[in-house]
Chain A
Amino acid sequence: MAEERIIHGVVASVGTAIGKAIRTFDALFVSLNFKLRPDQVRKEVERFRASVEKSREQLKRMQAELKRKSGPESSFLIDAHLLVLQDRLFVDRIIEKIESDYINAEWAIQQVSDDLFQAYDRLNDEYLRERRGDLDDIVRRLLHNLQSKALPSFKKLSYDSILVGKVVLPSTLFELRSQRLVGLATETGSPLSHTAIMARSLEIPAIMGAPELAEVASGDLLIVDGERGVVICSPSDETLAAYKGRDRDGKKGKRKASAAVSSPSITEDQVQISLAANINFSEEVLSAVAHGCESIGLYRTEFDFFREGKQPDEESLVADYSLVLKAAKGAPVTFRTIDVGIDQRTWDGMNPNLGVRGLRFCLENTDVFKKQLRSLYRASVSGPTRILLPFVSTLDDLDAARHILEEVRGELDLRRQPYDPNIPIGVMIETPAAAQTCDLMASLVDFFCLGTNDLIQYYLVIDRSDQSVVHLYNPFHPAILRCLHQVYTLLRPTGKPITVCGEMAADPPSAAVLLGLGFTSLSVSLTAYPRIKRMIQAVSIGQLRELAGQILKMQKPKEVEQKVRATVYRT
Chain B
Amino acid sequence: MKEREIVVGHRLGLHARAAAKLVQLSSQFQCSIVLFRTDAARAPNPTEADARSILSILLLSAGYGSKLAVRADGVDEEEAVNRICEYLTG
Contacts and interface: CB of A to CB of B under 8 A. Distances in A.
Contacts of B13: 125
A83 B20 contact: yes
A156 to B, nearest CB: 30
Centre residue among B16, B45, B55, B59 by max chain A CB count within 10 A: B55
A76 B52 CA distance: 16
Contact of B44 (A76, A84, A122): A122
A123 B61 contact: yes
B63 interface: yes
Interface stretch (A61-69, A87-95, A348-356): A87-95
A125 B44 CA distance: 11
Contact of A89 (B12, B19, B56): B56
A510 B63 CA distance: 60
B20 A124 contact: no
A127 interface: yes
Interface in A119-161: 119-120, 122-125, 127-128, 131, 134-135
A49 to B, nearest CB: 18
B73 interface: no
A89 B55 contact: yes
B53 to A, nearest CB: 4
B69 interface: no
Interface in B17-32: 17, 19-20, 23-24
A77 B45 contact: no
Contact of A128 (B15, B20, B23, B56): B15
Nearest to B44: A122
Contact of B50 (A88, A124, A128): A88
A20 to B, nearest CB: 35
B61 A125 contact: yes
B45 A80 contact: no
A134 B54 CA distance: 11
A127 B50 contact: no
Contacts of B52: 87-88
A46 interface: no
A486 to B, nearest CB: 53
A76 B61 CA distance: 19
A77 B17 CA distance: 7
Contacts of B53: 87-90
Nearest to B22: A83
Contacts of A119: 44-45, 59
A407 interface: no
A80 B15 CA distance: 10
Centre residue among B13, B52, B61 by max chain A CB count within 10 A: B61
Contacts of B6: none
A87 B56 CA distance: 9
B16 A77 contact: yes
A89 B46 CA distance: 13
A90 B59 CA distance: 13
Nearest to A121: B44
B58 A131 contact: yes
Contacts of B44: 119, 122-124
A89 B49 CA distance: 10
A124 B54 CA distance: 18
Interface of B: 12-13, 15-17, 19-20, 23-24, 44-45, 50, 52-56, 58-59, 61, 63
Given A87-B52, A131-B58, 14 more contacts: A83-B23, A87-B53, A87-B54, A87-B55, A88-B50, A89-B50, A119-B44, A119-B45, A120-B58, A122-B45, A123-B61, A127-B15, A131-B15, A131-B16
10 contacts: A76-B17, A87-B56, A88-B52, A89-B53, A120-B59, A123-B59, A124-B61, A125-B61, A127-B12, A128-B61
